[in-house]
């Protein structure tokens, strides 16, 4: 089922960063289905971060959400990126037809969520609510392990998923058409390149299918238009993907 266009979709996500909201934005952008980015509206028009707080405090309908991104669709308020995408994916034409393949896409999306949580924990290894500067020593230790072990493990896993999808000759993660998991993979790869330029740069040559997937997503007309627009916020150090050189891999030594 594809979206007919008369449903009102409201995304609630913190102002000023791409964050986890971006995984949801990319799906709507690719589908060309309008959505309201509520917190980016002025508070006078019901926007601002206060609009998110209201939903978190139970002022909205439905199930009480724990953390943004939130998607409000009528009386439904959904949280958890993977859950939001599982719900809107079929409506946006970004999910496979079969129930089994939809579960597979969801499985990948949940693995991306795990990956993102580990990226976040490189700069916040001790306390989510405390500033990076208060946990820098632990962050260095955490990031060193992440860069050496977890980053290659996650990336080579997704590379292998593409390689095994012979049906699509490695062009998509699942099935033979684009799904929201492919868009999320793109977002993850661009974020990693920003945050860990050295570590990611060292791994990239061993990830030809992921690199090609990223380039293909980036070149899709609606995604390209979105990436070039003001709606696409630049990476910054309040976001999940942060460029702290001390957390990146040391550049390879040249012994000449």
Ligand X SMILES: N[C@@H](CCC(=O)N[C@@H](CS)C(=O)NCC(=O)O)C(=O)O
Binding residues for ligand X, per CB under 6 A? 19-20, 67-69, 80-81, 113
Q: Closest approach of Cβ 183 to ligand X, in Å?
A: 15
Q: Closest approach of Cβ 113 to ligand X, in Å?
A: 5
Q: Closest approach of Cβ 115 to ligand X, in Å?
A: 11
Find the helix or strand (DSSP H, E) in which 78 lies.
strand 76-79
Q: Between 119 and 223, name the residue whose CB sits nearer to ligand X.
A: 119
**Closest Cα partner for 108 from 176, 157, 146, 177?**
157
Q: Between 80 and 190, name the residue whose CB sits nearer to ligand X.
A: 80
**Closest Cα partner for 230 from 69, 53, 37?**
37
Q: Between 80 and 179, name the residue whose CB sits nearer to ligand X.
A: 80
Beta carbons within 8 Å of 250's beta carbon, 6+ residues apart: 198
CA distance 178 to 89: 11
**Closest Cα partner for 159 from 109, 223, 194, 203?**
203
Q: Closest approach of Cβ 203 to ligand X, in Å?
A: 24
CB-closest chain residue to ligand X: 67
Q: Closest approach of Cβ 129 to ligand X, in Å?
A: 8
Contact 62, 77 (CB under 8 A): yes
| Two tokens, residue 226 | 């979105």
CA distance 110 to 56: 22
Q: Closest approach of Cβ 47 to ligand X, in Å?
A: 17
Q: Between 1 and 128, name the residue whose CB sits nearer to ligand X.
A: 128
Q: Between 181 and 207, name the residue whose CB sits nearer to ligand X.
A: 181
Beta carbons within 8 Å of 217's beta carbon, 6+ residues apart: 178, 182, 183, 185, 186, 223
Q: Between 170 and 182, name the residue whose CB sits nearer to ligand X.
A: 182
């Amino acid at each position: 089922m594809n979206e007919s266009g008369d449903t009102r979709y409201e995304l609630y996500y913190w102002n000023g960063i791409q964050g986890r909201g971006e995984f949801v934005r990319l799906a709507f952008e690719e589908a060309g289905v309008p959505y309201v980015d509520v917190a980016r509206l002025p508070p006078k028009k019901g926007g601002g971060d206060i609009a998110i707080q209201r939903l978190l405090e139970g002022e909205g309908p439905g199930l009480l959400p724990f953390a943004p991104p939130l998607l409000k669709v009528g009386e439904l308020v959904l949280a958890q990126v993977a859950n939001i995408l599982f719900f809107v994916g079929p409506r946006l034409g970004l999910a496979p037809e079969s129930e089994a393949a939809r579960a597979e896409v969801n499985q990948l999306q949940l693995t991306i969520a795990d990956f993102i949580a580990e990226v976040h924990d490189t700069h916040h290894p001790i306390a989510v609510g405390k500033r990076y500067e208060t946990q820098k020593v632990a962050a260095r230790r955490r990031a060193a392990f992440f860069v050496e072990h977890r980053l290659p493990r996650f990336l080579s896993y997704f590379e292998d998923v593409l390689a095994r999808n012979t049906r699509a000759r490695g062009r998509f993660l699942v099935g033979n058409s684009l799904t929201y998991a492919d868009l999320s993979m793109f977002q993850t790869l661009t974020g990693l390149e920003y945050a860990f330029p050295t570590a990611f740069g060292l791994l990239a040559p061993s990830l030809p299918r992921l690199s090609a997937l990223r380039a293909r997503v980036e070149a899709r007309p609606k995604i390209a238009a979105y990436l070039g627009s003001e709606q696409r916020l630049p990476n910054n150090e309040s976001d999940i993907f942060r460029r702290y050189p001390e957390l990146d891999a040391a550049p390879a030594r040249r012994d000449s």
